[in-house]
Amino acid sequence: MFSYRHAFHAGNHADVLKHLALIATMRHLLRKPTPVLLVDTHAGAGLYRLDSDFAQTAGEAADGIVRLWEAAAAKPAADPGAAEDALADYLQMIAAFNPDGQLRYYPGSPFILQRLMRSEGGDRLKLFELHPTDSRALSRNIAQLKPGRSVSVLRQDGFEGLRASLPPPPAGTGPRRALVLIDPSYEIKNDYSRVADAIADSLKRYATGTYLVWYPIIPRPEAHELPRRLKTLSHQAHRPWLHATLSIGAASTPATAAVQAGEPRRPGLRASGLWVINPPHTLKPALQAALPQVLAALGRGSGKGYTLESGG
Ligand code: SAM
């Protein structure tokens, strides 16, 4: 049924944008003691080896985390006291999974969220993954962290799982907050409309949740339409929003060179976007500082750039 495997794409520029924003959003939510329900509707396998056959075949991390990691190594270390430095925070997260300084592992959203959450403080993490192989890998990987009952791995449709998860159940005597990451592979065309429907439904169930939706920027009408629909939904629900996009541009060595060299892979995704509903007020300044540095490391030719807009 599914051909998409995130192992081919782990650590690419899209993961950099998504995970940088995810960590910056989490940091803000964790400032308050109120417990948070974390929902990852499309979780993937959780942890990836960058030297695996999958990652090596696609080589996408080379245009993502690998460049960023090398650029950071060439610079003096960031001030560890600079809590608002989202890029340094992201790189420290990746470094935590590569303690010997060699970049071998890339943490997916489940591992990032699990590392940041406060299991003792009532935070809960629900991970939905439908692919049988990735779901098994996710269960195995997460089990190694011995996370206890605060983390559940569910081999279910993430859109349906989200509907059943909202509003978040109360924690103790008080309400719980919620952070939702919606990160489908979009290999099925109706993923675009399912995302918009899931946001419409979620805002009715729980208008104050923080929702992060990742999408690819590709020449396909549904992909162009999705941010427009998300903007309309955000306005209709009177919720603030933030929209970030990152394009690394076209490679200076065109795909034809790779094809001539007998390498059949397609040129790959060049740009993606992230729509955030109810973003923390700290997210825009954090991305404003981080994205120019990300672009300086990853931008590679014509069309490179980033955008950052907010409203509501
Ligand atoms: N969120 C992950 C991260 O940041 O590390 C990456 C997720 S990857 C882009 C999308 C995943 O969704 C794939 O592993 C795919 O198998 C899974 N998937 C596809 N359709 C799904 C559905 N309806 N419900 C749950 N998972 C699904």
Expressed in angstroms and rounded, the spacing between residue 143 Cα and the centre of ligand 1 is 19
For ligand 1, what atom is nearest to the CA of residue 45?
Answer: 14
C-alpha 226/C-alpha 148 separation (Å) is 37
C-alpha 251/C-alpha 246 separation (Å) is 15
> Is the beta carbon of 60 within 6 A of some atom in ligand 1?
no
pLDDT grade, residue 52 (50/70/90)?
confident
- Give a yes or no: residue 1 inside a domain: no
Mean pLDDT throughout 192-205?
A: 98
Number of folded domains that form the chain: 1
> Phi-psi bin for 107: left (phi > 0), alpha (psi -120 to 50), beta?
beta
- % of residues, the chain, pLDDT over 90: 78
Please give the model's pTM, rounded to 2 decimal places.
Answer: 0.93
Outline where 144-282 has alpha helix (H).
158-165, 191-205, 221-236, 255-260
C-alpha 77/C-alpha 145 separation (Å) is 29
Query: For the chain, what is the radius of gyration of the CA atoms?
Result: 19
pLDDT grade, residue 264 (50/70/90)?
very low
Residue 105 has pLDDT above 70, yes or no: yes
pLDDT grade, residue 203 (50/70/90)?
very high
* pLDDT (tens digit per residue) in 11-50: 999 999 999 999 999 999 999 999 999 999 999 999 999 9
C-alpha 40/C-alpha 27 separation (Å) is 17
Q: What is the pLDDT, as a whole number, of residue 1?
A: 54
Residue 83 has pLDDT above 70, yes or no: no
Q: Which residues are catalytic?
A: 183
- Nearest CA owner, ligand 1 atom 22: 157
Residue 187 has pLDDT above 70, yes or no: yes
Least confident of 16-30, 57-71, 189-203: 57-71
pLDDT grade, residue 267 (50/70/90)?
low
> Is the beta carbon of 158 within 6 A of some atom in ligand 1?
yes
| Mean per-residue pLDDT of the chain | 90
- Give a yes or no: residue 193 inside a domain: yes
Expressed in angstroms and rounded, the spacing between residue 261 Cα and the centre of ligand 1 is 32
Residue 152 has pLDDT above 70, yes or no: yes
- Give a yes or no: residue 170 inside a domain: yes
Domain that holds residue 157: 6-311
- Give a yes or no: residue 138 inside a domain: yes
> Is the beta carbon of 109 within 6 A of some atom in ligand 1?
yes
Q: What is the pLDDT, as a whole number, of residue 56?
A: 72
Expressed in angstroms and rounded, the spacing between residue 109 Cα and the centre of ligand 1 is 10
- Give a yes or no: residue 269 inside a domain: yes
> Is the beta carbon of 129 within 6 A of some atom in ligand 1?
yes
Expressed in angstroms and rounded, the spacing between residue 189 Cα and the centre of ligand 1 is 14
* pLDDT (tens digit per residue) in 205-242: 999 999 999 999 999 999 999 999 999 999 999 999 99
158 is in an annotated binding site: yes
Q: Which of 142, 158, 150 is nearest to 46 (CA)?
A: 142
CA distances (Å), origin 35, targets 86, 123, 150, 168, 176: 22, 5, 11, 10, 5
What's 206's domain CATH number?
3.40.50.150
19 is in an annotated binding site: yes
